[in-house]
Amino acid sequence: MPQRGRMGAKMRQMNLRNIEIACGGKLFLPKNAGNSMACSQPEITSAQLDSRLIEEGALFFAAAGEKVDGHKFIVTAFQKGAYCVITEKRPEEVAAEHGLPAEAWGPYILVENTLEALKAIAEFYRSTLKIPVVGITGSVGKTSTKEFIATVLSENYRVLKTEGNYNNEIGLPLTILRIREEHQAAVLEMGISDFGEMHRLSKIARPDICVITNIGQSHLETLGSRDGILKAKSEIFDFMSRQGEVCLNGDDDKLITISQVYGKRPHFFGLGSGGQKEIYATDVISSGLFGSDAVLHCRMVRPDGELAVPIHIPLPGGHMVNNAMAAACVGRLLGLTMKQIAAGIVKTKSLSGRSRLISLPDYTLIDDCYNANPVSMKAALDLLCMADTMKAAILGDMFELGGDSDEMHREVGAYAAMAGIDILLCIGDNCAHMYREAKEKAHSGMKVSYYKTKEEFLGRLLENRSGLLPEGCTILIKASHGMGFEEIVTLLSQGITA
């Protein structure tokens, strides 16, 4: 859940008349307000879709969702201090539907679609901001890269960043509406699953710096192929500043085909000095689950030479080195010194569900259950293999892979069998293909098991935890978010007794 805006902090130019114009709605004032309220309106203090977060002076977006109709909370929002409500329904209509007093309403703006109004208002607010905005997309590593960039920039800027999974057409506008005058930079994660979505996100965010981490195999069900993914992700450029900059992974075979964006050459980052990279890492030494050490090189300052500094990347896995390089690229573009960049990289922390290490008395958990696709599954298995203990992987279904889903699950199963892990536990309908392939290719001594549902697995875990997962082992937990593997992480973290 995103943080509240700072209490009492005004949002510049966000008065009711400007908001009304921005969203194309019609403003209605209380009958006793008079013209003075319309002419001398204060700026709102925050914007919320969740009535529980309402504070004094807030703008509340009343939206009818699949499970909850936000219109039924309009009176509560006003009671909590909301200054105005964006609504699809008039007071009398809401009163009739939900039995709420129509006279308890304050100012409201009537719109055709609340969520479309949210996007339009966020786009207007973004147009008033003068701070650099960094937009990040890619198939894998968006969130970790966002954390690296935000932490690096925090060495020299007061930064607002995307929180949680607020990276879509609802979350991105809400994130932008959290920006306040004290912020000096914003780092926005931008996630999509279909063509046209990034175009709309770019229109709202208007990024000054665009970062693409990679072109993988996520959302193939809607995007068709890696070329389709490249096309969809490249929509991030559609509304970027014409004076803006682009940072691309120079190790990605699709991204290196981008030679110009609005007449300017992209800045490439990655591992090793090959290709067109201006930011790159060499001498990478893995410390297993405790991260990596490397030398960071920068060619972005002097064409006749480069700068180099030693760095420590605290998050495990070779892919994290690449994510740190993206942060270094953005840092240099925004004027940070190499010393500041190195200091920011070492301070970066992992988030729940994203390669987060949890040390327990009986186990070490690698909590990577936020999402999954074939590339990230293989990277997570590589990370698990860095452990110097017995290695166990609890893997679940990968979603939105299109017609090649079965083959991709088999591919991960084969990879797991050859990676050198000791225990593989496959869960879910799609994972039946992973299980069969792993079982066929498993090395001597490797245990491979299959469970049709998470509930079946949890029941077996309750019956015989030590039989499934011997004490002292390192356990990777990974699946697509819809599998709900956070429950497995929670139970293992809390300890399970029969």
pLDDT, one tens digit per residue, over 197-246 is 999 999 999 999 999 999 988 788 888 899 999 999 999 999 999 999 99
pLDDT of 35 above 70: no
Q: Which of 319, 347, 375 is the last residue of a domain?
A: 347
CB 205 within 8 A of CB 176: yes
Q: pLDDT band at 39, cuts 50/70/90?
A: low
CB 468 within 8 A of CB 460: yes
Tell me the pLDDT tens digit for each residue of 134-150. Answer: 999 999 889 999 999 99
Range of the domain at 473: 356-494
Do both 364 and 325 map to the same domain? no
- Residue 446 CA from chain centroid, whole number: 34
pLDDT of 85 above 50: yes
| The token pair that represents 384 in the structure block | 């698990």
As a whole number of angstroms, the distance between CA 83 and CA 203 comes to 27
CB 311 within 8 A of CB 346: yes
Tell me the pLDDT tens digit for each residue of 253-287. Answer: 999 999 999 999 999 999 999 889 999 999 999 88
As a whole number of angstroms, the distance between CA 192 and CA 230 comes to 12
Average pLDDT over residues 118-142: 96
Domain of 68, CATH number, reads 3.40.1390.10
Average pLDDT over residues 432-461: 95
Do both 138 and 106 map to the same domain? no
Q: What is the pLDDT of residue 301?
A: 64
Q: What is the pLDDT of residue 1?
A: 41
Do both 202 and 223 map to the same domain? yes
Do both 360 and 293 map to the same domain? no
Average pLDDT over residues 444-450: 94
Q: What is the pLDDT of residue 444?
A: 86
Q: What is the pLDDT of residue 450?
A: 98
Q: What is the pLDDT of residue 348?
A: 94
Strand order, beta sheet including 307-313: 159-161, 185-189, 133-137, 209-212, 245-249, 267-271, 277-286, 292-298, 307-313
Average pLDDT over residues 157-168: 93
Q: What is the pLDDT of residue 300?
A: 84
CB 400 within 8 A of CB 222: yes
Q: What is the pLDDT of residue 3?
A: 45
Size of the chain, expressed as the number of residues it contains: 498
Do both 172 and 306 map to the same domain? yes
Question: What's phi and psi for 232, nearest 5 deg?
Answer: -65, -45
More confident residue, 391 or 36: 391
Neighbours of 214 (CB within 10 A): 27
Q: What is the pLDDT of residue 352?
A: 64
Averaged confidence pLDDT in the chain: 92
Neighbours of 86 (CB within 10 A): 26
Do both 343 and 364 map to the same domain? no
Percentage of the residues of the chain whose pLDDT score is greater than 70: 94
Tell me the pLDDT tens digit for each residue of 180-196. Answer: 999 999 999 999 989 99
Percentage of the residues of the chain whose pLDDT score is greater than 90: 78
Q: What is the pLDDT of residue 32?
A: 66
Domain of 483, CATH number, reads 3.90.190.20
Do both 446 and 466 map to the same domain? yes
Cα–Cα distance list, 440 to 20, 375, 391, 423, 448 (Å): 63, 21, 19, 14, 10
Q: What is the pLDDT of residue 318?
A: 85
As a whole number of angstroms, the distance between CA 71 and CA 105 comes to 11
Residue 117 lies in a domain: no
Do both 337 and 386 map to the same domain? no
Residue 57 lies in a domain: yes
Q: What is the pLDDT of residue 475?
A: 97
pLDDT of 409 above 80: yes
Do both 323 and 375 map to the same domain? no
Tell me the pLDDT tens digit for each residue of 348-396. Answer: 987 766 778 898 999 999 999 888 999 889 989 998 998 989 999 999 9
Average pLDDT over residues 426-433: 97
Residue 246 lies in a domain: yes
Q: Which of 86, 112, 138 is the last residue of a domain?
A: 112
Residue 50 lies in a domain: yes
Q: Which stretch of DSSP H or E encloses residue 185?
A: strand 185-189
pLDDT of 38 above 80: no
Q: What crossing angle do the helices spanning 405-419 and 374-384 adopt, rounded to 10°?
A: 10
CB 385 within 8 A of CB 392: no
Tell me the pLDDT tens digit for each residue of 304-343. Answer: 567 899 999 999 888 899 999 999 999 999 999 999 999 9
Residue 361 lies in a domain: yes
**Residue at token pair 């007071």:** 91
Q: What is the pLDDT of residue 498?
A: 38
Q: pLDDT band at 496, cuts 50/70/90?
A: low
Task: Quote the number of domains for the chain.
Answer: 3
Average pLDDT over residues 5-32: 85
Q: Which stretch of DSSP H or E encloses residue 380?
A: helix 374-384
pLDDT of 7 above 50: no
